[in-house]
Structure 1
Amino acid sequence: MTTIDNHASRHVTMDEIVTTVIMARVTDFFGFFVYAIASAIVFPQLFFPNFDPVTGTMLSFLLFSLAFIARPVAGLLGRRVQRRLGRQWKVVAALMILGTSTVAIGLLPGYEKAGVAAPLLLAVMRFLQGIGLGGAWDGLTLQLQNAAPKNRNGFYAMIPQLGGPLGFVVAASLYFVLTGFLTDAEFMQFGWRFAFFAVFAVNVVALFARIRLLEADFGGDRAPLQSAPFRELLDTQWRPIVVSTFLPLASYALFHMVTVFPLAYALLYTDQPISNILLYQLMGAILGVFGVIMSGILADRIGRQTVLWISTSLIVLLCLSIGTLESAPWVFILLGFLLLGFAYGQASAIVPNRFPAEFRYSGTAVATNLSWLFGAAFAPLAGLVLTNAFGLWAAALYLLSGVIVTSVTLYLFQRWTRRQLA
């Protein structure tokens, strides 16, 4: 295994980079999905009991989007902190905000005890979670790509993406156990809170490994890991930022349509036990891991752009199966997770290398936060609103909108790339 020396004579192996990147991303997504699942099965009853179940869930999903709205703001604040204190302290501060707000959510009283203050406090804590998530951008994925062998870029680009399905496996497993061993009353009273406390404990452990790698000097060109002047970034790199923002939208829209939306739909419109849906999703997330790995293997053989075209086209076919959520939810869930892994595995790795080295870190950070905002923030809410107004088939329209945006962006990106080569 190749070793990379830093100026302090400490050796950092590729194994250490890979392990730390996976650990960091799994813990990030674990906390992400702990809140996401609770927003479907806990918060509508706990914080909005004075509304009908559908409206309460819509309000819960509206608060769910606040973290994504906060992420671009956090990116701008994080630039200032990084410029003054450095990348390591920026990440530490962001993760402390994330951890504190997450634990605070687990301690919040419900509407019956605190009235309207309860959902307002939840909104504040959710916004702070977004500040923590957006500010914790650490560039580890860029370090991994920079250190990867040139002929295996696709495989190494998918490694950070494993955090999505693996993080969901951990979060869903925890809820599956809690809902299985506790009564409904016990789960709503105190059981769900343990999931948020677990997030803080896991993040503290992962923080040390992440900081250790952030402090390593990998030698060579450090430009890809430096923050660039914001005005110059927008003036000169607006095109790759726009492409990087909208290219992964199909996979990001699918993200919450297979993780959060089925839980809400099962509770509101079917008699399916929530434990069954969680079990199907656990099985699906495992398939999603294989989908991510498959995307990396195929990307090195047929190219990332071809993989993205194939996965985007398959999402159209997946939309035809959304009706199975009514009576056979495992069909849509299993197929959806497998396709999610395949689409998500390479969606965000195509453009970053098109940034000049000095803009790569900042450009990728800005585009990542904007992608989550446009692609994923309102997916559960849009799916539920469309379903409530027109029927389950209409929820597929949100997925199709992501497919259209990704397809148009990929087409324009290929034309732009050909002009650059010419």
Structure 2
Amino acid sequence: MSTSPSSPAVTSPAEAADTSSRSRIVFASFIGTAIEFYDFYVYATAAALVIGPVFFPHGSATAQALSAFVTFGIAFIARPIGSFLFGHFGDRIGRKSTLVASLLVMGVSTTLIGFVPGYDAIGSLAPVLLCILRFGQGIGLGGEWGGAALLATENAPAGRRAWFGMFPQLGPSVGFLAANGLFFGLALALTDEQFRSWGWRVPFIASAVLVALGLYVRMKIAETPAFRAAIERRERVRVPLVSLIARHAKPTLAGAFAMVVCYTLFYISTVFTLSYGVSTLHFTRQSFLGLLCFAVLFMALATPLSAWASDRFGRRPVLIAGIVAAIASGFAMAPLVGSGSTPLVALFLTIELFLMGVTFAPMGALLPELFPTPVRYTGAGVSYNLGGILGASVAPYIAQMLAARGGLAWVGGYVSVAAAVSLIAVLSIRETRDVQLS
């Protein structure tokens, strides 16, 4: 039976948390992912605009872009490692302390990137240091999402798990808007020379302030009821990853492939199109960043709508509808983006990011629901971050190559194929709306 957040506890450990406690928990899950994804997207934006010429100055503009996108992909390789590492401790010692550690790793790595000298100053050591810190970003983010999703869903009242799981899913929209908004402001305020010399470093260094805020909020929250119950029942496993591989390999892979559509939609429509729009369509940096800031508002709008629908109708129907639309959207890329028309490019970005919100929101509940409590942190995090390798790490690189060889129609076809892979995965997953997490 569904209850409102203010209803008294009657059925499950999750409903034992009062309204004020849930509000703090929801805010902690949201603010952490917003900060972590701000850090991550700051690099994505910089990779599209400035990382190539600053750290890989030799070669053509295309070669610089490809090199920058390789460093972009390094973090996605690191993210599953982070999910293994932090997932182990999240399932062994608790969600709260693990989330604090992941945020700290991410924040330190991001801030230090802002201080790495360019190639002209220290030569080949510059890209080496950049890659090490980018790897650190991936480790931190790999431990973030699974814990934030569990923090929200394991405290959710009955019948509203997707709604609560939506708040960490809002973090990427806000983080992206903050990152791109700051780059947009810098593009307006600085000359190209100033931006390339020092301006691009400002968003990285500013991360230190945001991380301090996130750490303060997370230190104030309590452990989740589901994990406390698992401790009382002595259900914790010695090595969660081993148990996950031995007993839960199928849902792990299904969850990973289901995530591919989310990553592909987002990183093709932001990182690749930003690079393509500035270098090939000759948009100014500030104008294209402005289009992305506008379009991401529709991603933020779609997130609560999709979460509400997945609580009402189930996770699978909402995901299937969104993925089918994503398959169709790939065919719109060449005519809309290739036109070079500002309204048509904005329309394409809006469609893709809206569909990203539709397909992303239910994952906050779906992935935790695929796994039992003793391996839930590890399982949800590994699925989420393996999906990142499959759907995001190589997406801008592949798109850059496809655009060079076959044009935007090939890139659109890549989007459609990636969405079709996720459709097959979702069809293989059972409906999880009524699964008990305790």
Q: Same fold (TM over 0.5)?
A: yes
Which residue is 1:291 aligned to?
302
| CA apart distance, 1:414 | 4.2
Distance 1:137 1:348 in 2: 9
| CA apart distance, 1:75 | 2.8
Cα 1:222/1:134, change in 2 over 3 Å: same
Equivalent residue letter for 1:401: V
Which residue is 2:266 aligned to?
255
Distance 1:349 1:203 in 2: 25
| CA apart distance, 1:22 | 1.1
| CA apart distance, 1:98 | 2.0
Deviations 1:204-225 (CA, angstroms, capped at 9, x unpaired): 1111212322557688624699
Please identify, of 207-216 and 236-245, the stretch whose mean Cα deviation from structure 2 is larger: 207-216
Distance 2:285 2:118 in 1: 21
- Give TM-score scaled by structure 2 length: 0.87
Q: Is the 8 A contact 1:226 1:361 kept in 2?
A: no
2:402 is the counterpart of 1:394: no
Equivalent residue letter for 1:236: R
Which residue is 1:420 aligned to?
none
Distance 2:65 2:41 in 1: 16
Distance 1:86 1:301 in 2: 31
Report sequence identity in percent: 29
Alignment gaps of 5+ in structure 1 = 418-422
What number of residue pairs does the alignment pair up?
415
Cα 1:414/1:273, change in 2 over 3 Å: same
Which residue is 2:221 aligned to?
213
Summarize the alignment of residues 19-418 of structure 1 with structure 2, pairs less than 5 Å apart. Answer: 19-78=27-86, 88-136=96-144, 139-215=147-223, 221-222=229-230, 229-323=240-334, 324-326=336-338, 327-328=340-341, 329-414=345-430
Distance 1:122 1:219 in 2: 37
| CA apart distance, 1:20 | 1.3
Distance 2:367 2:176 in 1: 26
Distance 1:135 1:297 in 2: 26
Please identify, of 292-301 and 217-226, the stretch whose mean Cα deviation from structure 2 is larger: 217-226
| CA apart distance, 1:178 | 0.4
| CA apart distance, 1:88 | 4.7
Q: Secondary structure at the match of 1:212?
A: coil
| CA apart distance, 1:200 | 1.9
Cα 1:142/1:314, change in 2 over 3 Å: same
| CA apart distance, 1:95 | 2.9
Q: Secondary structure at the match of 1:150?
A: coil
Q: Is the 8 A contact 1:244 1:352 kept in 2?
A: no
| CA apart distance, 1:25 | 1.2
Equivalent residue letter for 1:325: V
| CA apart distance, 1:416 | 12
Alignment gaps of 5+ in structure 2 = 434-438
Deviations 1:270-305 (CA, angstroms, capped at 9, x unpaired): 121121111111111111111111101221232221
Distance 1:139 1:192 in 2: 30
Distance 2:304 2:91 in 1: 36
Cα 1:119/1:169, change in 2 over 3 Å: same
Cα RMSD (Å): 2.8
Deviations 1:218-263 (CA, angstroms, capped at 9, x unpaired): 8862469966532222111111111111112111111101111111
Distance 2:367 2:227 in 1: 24
- Give TM-score scaled by structure 1 length: 0.90
| CA apart distance, 1:334 | 1.5
Cα 1:316/1:77, change in 2 over 3 Å: closer
